[in-house]
């Protein structure tokens, strides 16, 4: 793994700014970045888990940028899944989140990485972030996308014709937030799309890749991450 460094940066959108966590390889002086990845949060904000994911991707040689999705409601939210109070706040933030505005923030994050020298930029996201990754595949100019247990994708399949970059959809078979009928609709609805691969992980529950989460599964997480790194290597460098 490459040695990494990290910073807090600001991204401009529509005459305003929001914060983002940027992790990158230490060896930036050796030339242009390998590629960039926008890391899209769960409902808990840019917390330690999301930062750990960004650090992992930086260790793989990418610039990894985790934007603060909830900045219009409350800036710099960082919650855990460890208490009922935090869960309730996270659900309230998710309910108040405007995904149509949010996709503009994700495009701004992609643009930030491109301006920093990343010729190719992808997205990765989890839960709410997994939903936003699917929308990013449909509505942004990102170069590759990896969605983990994204919620509500079955309701947005009508946008799939707009996907023009390699896209992975990772689904947990036991996910109560993506129940079996939704899983079937996603798998069937995207089966013929040549740029989309749907993987369903038997026996796994929502957030199987969340570090230290109650449903974390090392083997399933490693398998999903391996598939993700494979498409990023092909699409981003």
pLDDT confidence band for 224 (50 / 70 / 90): very high
CA-based diameter of the chain, in Å?
Answer: 50
**HSE-up of residue 174 (Cα within 13 Å, Cβ side):** 10
pLDDT tens per residue across span 142-170: 999 999 999 999 999 999 999 999 999 99
Average pLDDT over residues 33-41: 94
pLDDT confidence band for 4 (50 / 70 / 90): confident
pLDDT confidence band for 172 (50 / 70 / 90): very high
> Please, are residues 4 and 21 in contact by the beta-carbon 8 Å criterion?
no
Average pLDDT over residues 68-84: 96
H-type helices in the chain, by residue range?
A: 48-59, 84-96, 99-115, 128-139, 180-190, 218-236
pLDDT tens per residue across span 101-145: 999 999 999 999 999 999 999 999 999 999 999 999 999 999 999
**Which phi and psi (to 5°) does residue 123 adopt?**
-135, 150
Residue 237: per-residue pLDDT: 85
**HSE-up of residue 49 (Cα within 13 Å, Cβ side):** 25
Angle between helices 128-139 and 99-115 (to 10 degrees): 70
Q: How many helices (H) and strands (E) does the chain have?
A: 6, 8
**HSE-up of residue 94 (Cα within 13 Å, Cβ side):** 21
Domain residues of the chain, as ranges? 4-236
Q: Cα–Cα distance between 86 and 33 in angstroms, integer?
A: 36
pLDDT tens per residue across span 182-202: 999 999 999 999 999 999 999
Q: Find where tokens 């309230």 sit.
A: 92
Rounded to a whole number of angstroms, the distance between the first and last alpha carbons of the chain is 16
Average pLDDT over residues 202-215: 94
Residue 212: per-residue pLDDT: 86
Percent of the chain with pLDDT strictly greater than 90: 92
Residue 32: per-residue pLDDT: 66
Q: Cα–Cα distance between 129 and 145 in angstroms, integer?
A: 11
30 has pLDDT over 90:
no
CB-based contacts of 92: which residues, under 8 Å, 6+ apart? Answer: none
Report the top-level CATH class of 4-236.
Answer: alpha beta
How high is the mean pLDDT of the chain? 96
Measured CA to CA in angstroms, residue 36 lies from 18, 84, 184 at distances of 19, 35, 32
Residue 34: per-residue pLDDT: 83
pTM recorded for the entire structure: 0.96
Known catalytic residues are 175, 206
Q: Cα–Cα distance between 156 and 163 in angstroms, integer?
A: 12
CB-based contacts of 158: which residues, under 8 Å, 6+ apart? Answer: none
Residues in the chain: 237
Residue 3: per-residue pLDDT: 79
Q: Cα–Cα distance between 149 and 225 in angstroms, integer?
A: 13
């Amino acid at each position: 793994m490459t040695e990494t460094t990290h910073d807090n940066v600001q991204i401009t959108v529509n005459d305003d700014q929001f914060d983002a966590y940027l992790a990158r390889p230490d060896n930036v002086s050796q030339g242009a970045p390998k590629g960039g990845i926008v890391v899209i949060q769960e409902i808990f904000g840019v917390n330690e888990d999301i930062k750990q994911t960004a650090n992992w991707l930086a260790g793989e040689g990418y610039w990894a940028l985790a934007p603060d999705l909830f900045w219009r409601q409350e800036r710099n939210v960082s919650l855990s899944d460890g208490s009922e109070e935090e869960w309730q706040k996270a659900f309230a933030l998710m309910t108040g989140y405007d995904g149509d505005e949010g996709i503009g923030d994700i495009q701004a994050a992609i643009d930030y990485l491109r301006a920093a020298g990343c010729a190719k930029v992808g997205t990765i996201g989890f839960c709410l972030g997994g939903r936003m990754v699917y929308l990013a595949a449909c509505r942004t100019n990102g170069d590759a996308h990896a969605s983990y247990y994204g919620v509500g994708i079955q309701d947005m399949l009508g946008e799939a014709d707009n996907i023009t970059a390699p896209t992975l959809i990772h689904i947990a078979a036991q996910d109560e937030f993506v129940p079996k009928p939704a899983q079937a609709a996603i798998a069937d609805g995207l089966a013929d799309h040549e740029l989309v691969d749907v993987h369903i992980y038997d026996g796994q529950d929502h957030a199987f890749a969340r570090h230290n989460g109650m449903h974390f599964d090392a083997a399933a997480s490693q398998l999903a991450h391996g598939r993700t790194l494979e498409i990023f290597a092909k699409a981003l460098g």
